[in-house]
Amino acid sequence: MSIIESVNNNSNPGLNVLQTDTVGKDEFLKMMIAQLKNQDPLNPLDGTDFTAQLAQFSSLEQLVNMNDQLQNVNTYQASLNNAESVNLIGKEITALGDTIKADGLSVDLMYNLSGNAQKATIKIYDEGGSLVETLEPGSQKEGENSVAWDSNGFATGNYTFEVSATNANGDSIPAYTEIQGRVTGVTFMKGTPYLFVNGQEIPFGKVTLVNEPEV
């Protein structure tokens, strides 16, 4: 019988341990020692069972050590991300996103298509979610695309846009909306860096392109 089975069955009167679903390395070792101390001298623990329990302990220790190493890797990666995000201040970036700001001037609506499109449709919504304009630029190439939207006549503020596209066979093509702007600051929330771009908070992980600003 394994240590965990012994604890769950509570068959050893000399071993008083609370039953739990998970035990740590130290608890496992204490239970194994207690089991040896309280075994029946006339019916000692079988050598095979003892070897199996040692193997269980070894496996548990390896898993604990591996978990500690993974936590160290995650901490190191988070530190690298934080440092890299700060270095982006002042840089021009492209990131996944769908929010644009209208100020009466022309606004570039950027998106990436997974294939050549025979037809593309861009819908623009105000902050209340109401559709304010639909653009149909026609056929579009695979990859990065951009369509200018004249925001003159629309209230100043934030808008969102979505893109749908179909190929020559009428099949839908995945389209990913993007935004572009200069990073003016960085904030950290729950260990995740967010970049301030055009008054928005953009997760660092959504950045797809970084450029030096034009002089």
Hey, how many other C-beta atoms are within 10 angstroms of the C-beta on 182?
A: 16
Which one has a higher pLDDT value, 162 or 29? Answer: 162
Is the pLDDT reported for residue 123 higher than 50?
yes
Most confident region among 83-97, 116-130, 198-212 by mean pLDDT: 116-130
Q: pLDDT tier at 136 (50, 70, 90 boundaries)?
A: very high
| Sequence ranges of the domains in the chain | 3-85, 92-211
Residue with tokens 């008054």: 199
Which one has a higher pLDDT value, 213 or 210? Answer: 210
Looking at residue 17, what is its pLDDT?
42
Q: How far is CA 10 from CA 39, 41, 178, in A?
A: 13, 19, 60
Question: 161: buried, middle or exposed (CB in 10 Å: 19+, 13-18, 0-12)?
Answer: buried
Q: For the residues 23-46, what does the mean pLDDT come to?
A: 62
Class of domain 92-211: mainly beta
Q: Are 121 and 136 in contact (CB under 8 A)?
A: yes
The count of C-alpha atoms lying within 13 angstroms of the C-alpha of 8, restricted to the half-sphere facing its C-beta, is 8
Is the pLDDT reported for residue 83 higher than 90?
no
Could you report the per-residue pLDDT of 47-65, keeping only the tens digit for each? 556 556 656 666 766 776 6
